[in-house]
Structure 1
Amino acid sequence: MKSSVWNMIHELQRDSEDPVCAYVYDLAGIQEQVRHMLHTLPRGTRLFYAIKANPDSRIIEALLPWVHGFEVASIGELLKVRSVSSEVPILFGGPGKKENELKQAIEHQVSFIHVESLLELRRVIAIATRRGEEVRILLRINLRSSTLPRTRIVMGGGPSPFGMDEESVEEAIRVIREEGAGSVRLCGFHFHSLSNNVDARLHAEMIELYLQKVEMWQQAYDLHLEVINAGGGFGVTYDGSPGFDWSLFTSLIERSEARGRLASRGIQLYFEPGRMLVADHGYYAAEVTDIKTSHGQHFAVLRGGTHHNRLPASWGHNHPFHIMSTDRWGHSFARPEVRDNKVHVVGELCTPKDRMHSDAEVERLRVGDIVVFEKSGAYCWTISHHDFLGHPHPAFHYLTEDNNHVNSDEACQSARR
């Protein structure tokens, strides 16, 4: 953990009598991560940030100078990006777009709408026709292929609510040409078949399959294309095992002959990672408020839990953490602790599912110490049931490139500006 993060969390405890409960986002770390990723991107490729991983406005602001644009999956996410920038390119996806959302997306000048079904295609055509303007679209395709890599979260390669089956490509192109002439422009295809894949070679093979499919459709239907969006799905590990090798992946994409042929025709390749950009640069800090022993097992109860960070419960994993030893203890009676033993790290909710880590081996953990959960920058706060039991929300703090500390109130003021 960076010393600047460590120091900030100590300051939070020092400045408050209440137990620490806070998220710390290292904005400088996120920017450095993206700079590294951009350095190895091949010619003709573009990097977007899928804000579903973490839609915090301060993170969007920090990424604005670095990424080519943002991918959103709802009108709420779209408006959040537009509150930060009125001009940055936006990709609008998601399987359940309502007509009013499509109208707003067009009004807010999204770069492309990812069309996920024939019905959605006809809705876009009808809206665009009434408005008298041309809308740029990508068709999201669900490939029927056993060659796609498999992960815990799969969105393609079989029955799925995401995208349209590849057998529907011909009909979609016919609808565009016969019903949508002058109203929609097919600019390319979008694929997003899986999530949290950590095998860079398999991912590159999947991208190669996408490129070959598009080459085949381009020739078969005489298409003039601009973009192939290969989606995200780049994985992050939480158990200490190796994560996704971005440098290896981009080197394999660089050597792809199909990518080279498409790039020579001016067709750009888009990637839209989410968690890979932010996961490693968020920290959830929660102070231990009680330690108890029950039926021979030890439990450390936090000021916080899965209502703030639901990822470990959602994914069924033990979330990695560090213990910050502190001197917080103002009582004459003994300070409860666990030494050289296993402990379950649990939250403050009235449910046995409120567990962050089971059987964690600790040298020493005391009431008043702070448990800092690393890798808490993606899919932690925003997927959580924040208001269950009505506990106060955590504070939010941000570290900038010059190690300045910005708190949540200052961040809100910045977002409003």
Structure 2
Amino acid sequence: MSVQVEQWIREWHERGDEPVCAYVYDLAAIQRHVRDMLKTMPEQASLFYAIKANPDKRIIEALLPFVKGFEVASIGELSLVREVSESVPILFGGPGKKDAELETAIRKNVSYIHVESLLELRKIILLAKKWNKHTQVLLRINLRTDTLPRTKITMGGRPSPFGIDESFIEEAVAIIRGEDNPFVHFSGFHFHSLSNNLLAELHADMIRLYLRKAEEWKRAYDLDIRVINAGGGFGVAYDDKPGFDWPKFTSLLTESKALQALGDTQLFFEPGRFIVADYGYYAVEVVDIKQSHDQLFAVVRGGTHHNRLPASWGHNHPFRVVPTDRWEYPFSRPAVHDSKVTIVGELCTPKDRLHTDAELDSLRVGDVLLFEKSGAYCWTISHHDFLGHPHPKFYYITEGNQDE
């Protein structure tokens, strides 16, 4: 794929219409990746795609034949999925759901609503009764434990706005079993404790903890648990660290006694980043190279208004240089060799940085930087219209073909 993208970049640059600035999504590679993931999953497990990682409609369409369904965290995301399919299963999560959102979710027949608080649960019961709609819910639980892995983003095992504190499970069950609730049905539990965990062994330990906890609550409260949603959080490395070992994780899980004891209970996973991150590319052309004091800066057509992830996470985003040949100016082409260069964008802020002190053999104005691992949380979390610069173009690769 990289050869194909680089060839396309050079062709665009040779046309000379405008500086290169685009996202390229390899839909065919995403589909291959998901097929490989499914091969090693336990029999009772199902795969959902959390579209918050990248809600591009073309990606949702590409994944539709392969995943069990989609996880959404807003009515906007729900509507995107329903544009693609009126029947595919949807999991509806996220804190702070408003009445109109809950009502729409109930009327749009989402498969499960992830309940984030006791108040939210009471609202769901009221709205389901209003619409005479049977509604399945999963209680999202924030565990009281210090044994969960720690990552840059941790939502469970600590004070957090996410989920119902473990100590309130009995009260939540009592609310569902109340006489004034003919329509809302308990189906199981939802856990999503962290984001971007790179360690397969720790992730398997965490899932086993979820399963043991669910079994404990099943016995304590006489529950019929049909679903345990173990969330996502499978990591992607943006540096030289090894990425998440999915085959090792699924192997460890399959061998687990806790999994074997599930019986008819379904186990859901809802990764987002892990499915799409490696198959998106952000291509930007170098429009200037300059020295300031003792530092070198390469200014690109683009920046954090298109790809905010490196600024948000405080990391240097991985990239490679795609050399180009065309230079039509009557003066020499600025270039640096064997130097450290900081890659910055076109915004009027010093925080518009994509990579600091990158060690480069050679870089010239007009070369294109191809930022890899840009398929998740890059475009959609960015402040697109700050300063009013044009948006990047979007291209898609499907089974060897490329289209816009």
Q: What's the TM-score, normalizing by structure 2?
A: 0.99
In the alignment, structure 1 residue 74 sits paired with structure 2 residue 71? no
Q: What pairs with 1:240-319 in structure 2 (closer than 5 Å)?
A: 240-262=240-262, 264=263, 266-319=264-317
Distance 2:325 2:206 in 1: 52
Map of 1:326 onto structure 2 = 324
**Equivalent position to 1:393, from 387, 391, 394:** 391
Map of 1:375 onto structure 2 = 373
Contact 2:125 2:184 in 1 (8 A): yes
Q: What pairs with 1:152-191 in structure 2 (closer than 5 Å)?
A: 152-179=152-179, 181-191=181-191
Residue identity in the other structure for 1:358: T
In the alignment, structure 1 residue 92 sits paired with structure 2 residue 92? yes
Map of 1:126 onto structure 2 = 126
Q: What's the TM-score, normalizing by structure 1?
A: 0.96
Q: What pairs with 1:357-368 in structure 2 (closer than 5 Å)?
A: 357-368=355-366
Shift of 1:151: 0.7
Shift of 1:216: 0.8
In the alignment, structure 1 residue 35 sits paired with structure 2 residue 35? yes
Map of 2:336 onto structure 1 = 338
Map of 2:222 onto structure 1 = 222
Distance 1:134 1:21 in 2: 48
Structure 1 residue runs of 4 or more that deviate by more than 4 Å after TM superposition:
none
Secondary structure in 1 matching 2:261 = helix
Shift of 1:332: 1.6
Residue identity in the other structure for 2:401: N
Distance 2:47 2:324 in 1: 41
Contact 1:44 1:267 in 2 (8 A): yes
Map of 1:209 onto structure 2 = 209
Residue identity in the other structure for 2:191: F
In the alignment, structure 1 residue 107 sits paired with structure 2 residue 107? yes
Distance 1:349 1:200 in 2: 39
Shift of 1:14: 2.9
Residue identity in the other structure for 1:228: I
Distance 2:175 2:56 in 1: 38
Residue identity in the other structure for 1:281: Y
Distance 1:89 1:134 in 2: 15
Shift of 1:244: 0.6
Distance 1:179 1:43 in 2: 37
- What is the count of residue pairs matched by the alignment? 404
Render the CA deviation track for 1:104-162: whole Å, top value 9, x for unaligned: 11111100000000000000000011111211000000001001111110001011100
Shift of 1:15: 3.5
Contact 1:283 1:375 in 2 (8 A): yes
Map of 1:406 onto structure 2 = 403
Map of 1:5 onto structure 2 = 5
Contact 1:21 1:395 in 2 (8 A): yes
Secondary structure in 2 matching 1:178 = coil
Distance 1:178 1:94 in 2: 25
Render the CA deviation track for 1:26-64: whole Å, top value 9, x for unaligned: 001101110110000011000000000000000000000
Contact 1:125 1:179 in 2 (8 A): no
Q: CA RMSD in A?
A: 0.9
Contact 2:107 2:133 in 1 (8 A): no
Distance 1:128 1:188 in 2: 18
Secondary structure in 2 matching 1:59 = helix
Render the CA deviation track for 1:320-341: whole Å, top value 9, x for unaligned: 1010100121012110011111
**Fraction of identical pairs, as percent:** 66
Secondary structure in 2 matching 1:356 = strand
Shift of 1:16: 4.2
Secondary structure in 2 matching 1:102 = helix
Render the CA deviation track for 1:53-79: whole Å, top value 9, x for unaligned: 000000000000001000000110000
Contact 1:328 1:369 in 2 (8 A): no
Map of 1:411 onto structure 2 = none
